Structure 1
């Protein structure tokens, strides 16, 4: 896990540059620790040994050694203008989503945008098999991805397909989990949501109104369930057998479906779902079935 601290421009920042990474990023040393500072033009025209312009410092990071090495390599391989756009995109995402993103996003999103620009200029766009599910399950993150596509078009005159918006949305979802891994967790979460939705649809033998409030709540719950499973998190509350029995009596089909979801995820992935999860799942299934 990386640590991120945000400082205002008024904060005293009497440190010197050890290495210029690009116009908007530099490696510095403060109190014996190596840090990365970010800010528009923070390293523009600077050299090793120059004092950092405190007014230009917007963020600073303290990475673990391996992450610091990777960040430096990533920044070194990315044109400064690509990194600058990605940096603005991350700021936009955090403001729009209202969520703290893991520091890994400062590696993964610039790398993705820069690589995609190279691919498109070589006429090698990639399709995203999760595109439609990303639009359904992560609509806000997808909208941010579309906005980033527009930023790329305005600045570089390269028109990304919607597939790229979905890829970038998954990077944001991954950063929201608080994990520093690549897209694997986001893909795993999305796969679980797909499997649960398909199971419930097949169990009832019908489609549901995906525009209904009940379905939105069902997807939201399933998303959080998938995140908890992938991150090995569980409810802290004690199991409530009274409520469990009540849900089973009032919504027998939804309860049986929730049990089926539990068994399916256990067989496919080895996940264990407790009774509290079954209660919530059954209630949401009953709601979408009645909508």
Structure 2
């Protein structure tokens, strides 16, 4: 394969034997190379396919992005794959590198982007969040930039979305649903949760499993013999019942799923436990 463009010492563009546009990365792959030189196969670490030549968005992305950002992303990906024992989609390096570059740019311009689902990420995806924190350390070591803790959550999200066995949409929607439900509970019952408590962990975990049913449209069987207990709870805790009805309306409107009486009952039990 012959080089058609050298981005830097560690990234070049070429054309495969099958006439497909390729970007190759690897330590020293572009060092002292010029257009027309042969690519050293032994230095190829990663391959990225693109179409449309220099007008392609990926081509332009490599043109403007420092190679150090790619190295940081690759190290984070390697750690995630090893610690989580998962296979990651190849395109995550593009989205993660782009995010890191944008995060650094925002920091330099004093622009904050709060991670509104950070508490839920820390509670529900502990290992991914820990890898996000490791990622901040890698950015600090390799680029000399101290990114805020919110970015550890964003890195965790990129990892989650990059896991081949996961549904990209469901991860983000799960966090959005949980965050919306928690806000409804706090607003309706005029309370605020200790996000480090076991009760909060149990509640968010319950919402996580509920979200999985919501997105798969798998309704739980309704109440049978426990109707009396359910109605007793409604009578004894009208504020909590009003709260779960608001949650029911929210999930129906936003996610087109109607909670059964059994799901409402379980929610009442969890909410009662965390608020008493």
Q: Would you call these one fold, judging by a TM-score over 0.5?
A: yes
Residue 204 (structure 2) aligns with: 219
* 1:245 alignment partner, SS class: coil
2:248 counterpart (253, 262, 265): 262
1:196 correspondence with 2:178? no
Give the C-alpha shift of residue 130 in structure 1: 1.6
Q: Deviations over 1:196-216 (max 9, x none)?
A: 123345566666675566643
* 2:47 alignment partner, SS class: strand
Give the C-alpha shift of residue 78 in structure 1: 0.9
2:127 counterpart (129, 134, 140): 140
Residue 6 (structure 1) aligns with: none
For structure 1, which runs of at least 5 residues remain unmatched after alignment?
Answer: 1-14
Residue 162 (structure 2) aligns with: 175
1:164 correspondence with 2:122? no
CA distance, structure 1, for counterparts of residue 156 and residue 133 of structure 2: 9
Question: When the two structures are aligned, how many residues end up with a matched partner?
Answer: 262
* 2:252 alignment partner, SS class: helix
CA distance, structure 1, for counterparts of residue 220 and residue 175 of structure 2: 29
1:22, 1:75 within 8 Å by CA — same for their partners in 2?
no
1:128 correspondence with 2:114? yes
Residue 6 (structure 2) aligns with: 20
Residue 11 (structure 1) aligns with: none
1:25, 1:37 within 8 Å by CA — same for their partners in 2?
yes
1:234 counterpart (197, 216, 224): 216
TM-score normalized with structure 1 length:
0.67
Residue 5 (structure 1) aligns with: none
Superposed, which structure 2 residues align to 1:250-289 within 5 Å? 253=233, 260-267=246-253, 269=254, 271-273=255-257, 282-283=265-266, 286-287=269-270, 289=272
1:93 correspondence with 2:100? no
1:155 correspondence with 2:139? no
1:262, 1:272 within 8 Å by CA — same for their partners in 2?
no
Q: What is the RMSD computed on CA atoms of the aligned residues?
A: 4.0
For structure 2, which runs of at least 5 residues remain unmatched after alignment?
Answer: 235-239
